[in-house]
Amino acid sequence: MFRKMTKEIEIGNIKIGGGNPIIIQSMCNTDTRDVAATVKQILQLEEAGCELVRVAILDMDAANAVAEIKKQIHIPLVADIHFDYRLALRVMDLGIDKVRINPGNIGEESRIRQVVEKAKEKQIPIRIGVNSGSLEKDLVQKYGGVTPQGLVESALRHVRILEKYGFYNIVVSIKASDVLFSLEAYQLLSKAIDYPIHVGITEAGTVYNGTVKSAVGIGAILAAGIGDTIRVSLTGDPAEEIRAAKEILKSLNLRKFGIQLVSCPTCGRTQIDLISIANEVEKLCQGIEKDIKVAVMGCVVNGPGEAREADVGIAGGKGEGLLFKKGEIIKKVKEEELVSALMDEIKKL
């Protein structure tokens, strides 16, 4: 798949842009001042596969918590800061890996200059994050409302502020909750800059609705060759964001995260309890890092063909099923033994 080549940026021990793999990130919903709770959640996110995590820095106590949080986690940490430039200066002194700000909302130019100089000294990237919910009033007036063009102009305005001070270690994101709006905005942004772009559909919703909206929106943007990092924004457990992000990247063949499971939707021809079998196989396959395709099919119409295309698979019959491996039938198995037989073959691969 075509991807626009953007500038390479280092964030802690990872690199984004420049053809590097698309990175999955999330954001803690804990109070950053509660170090124990924040670390616990970050470690859970790490286990789920998160590669970059952001925390809200609301005040100086939250900023000071960064030092202790950094000691206990293993992935780069990003500080989300608004309005108070002193918070940005403090977290950079304490080892933050990236700062997310809007230069336009931290006040006079002398403050912006201090943030930029500190970021230069510490070699810390700055992410400019523009949101449709907080677009500048003059741009709303100029474009007759909140528009993709207005969001992009806002982002470019902030980019130029940093460039004015010779700072180019920049990541850019523009967020909206509308899918088609976001797609147009990201396409315009991608044409205008060569900095790495963070992609997301903001305020997407609850786990189910938000996952669907994010899959459509983020998927369409990535399919257009745009994006170097992604976040699925869900109202729920942040670990669900990681699970959804992995599936989005897997579906576009942009990243590989262990087993790819395909299963049929079932129909009146299905004569085994395929739904239970598929759910059990999915659960058992979690955490297995093998790059293989597993098929769980319900009948003899499409089942054998799909199973043959997979590395290993089953195709159901009446109270039994065929076990396939690398396109060849291995044996016929009783329904109650299908899961164990399939998992045995997966372990052998």
Between residues 45 and 305, the one the model is more confident about: 45
Closest CA to 195 of 223, 222, 163, 220: 163
Q: Do 9 and 15 meet the contact criterion of CB atoms below 8 Å apart?
A: yes
Tens digits of residue pLDDT in 22-81: 999 999 999 999 999 999 999 999 999 999 999 999 999 999 999 999 999 999 999 999
In the predicted structure, residue 309 carries a pLDDT above the cut 80: no
Mean pLDDT check: name the lowest of 63-67, 72-76, 103-107, 259-263: 103-107
Give the residue range(s) of CATH 3.30.413.10 domains in the chain.
260-348
Q: Model confidence at 290, in pLDDT bands (50, 70, 90)?
A: confident
The structure tokens listed for 153 are 């102009």
Between residues 269 and 17, the one the model is more confident about: 17
Give the residue range(s) of CATH 3.20.20.20 domains in the chain.
9-251
Bridge partner list, 278:
none
Q: What CATH number labels 260-348?
A: 3.30.413.10
At position 122, the amino acid (one-letter code) is K
Closest CA to 125 of 174, 159, 164, 82: 159
Q: pTM, whole model, 2 decimals?
A: 0.87
Query: What is the pLDDT at residue 303?
Result: 63
Query: What is the pLDDT at residue 1?
Result: 65
Q: Which CATH superfamily hosts domain 9-251?
A: Dihydropteroate synthase-like (3.20.20.20)
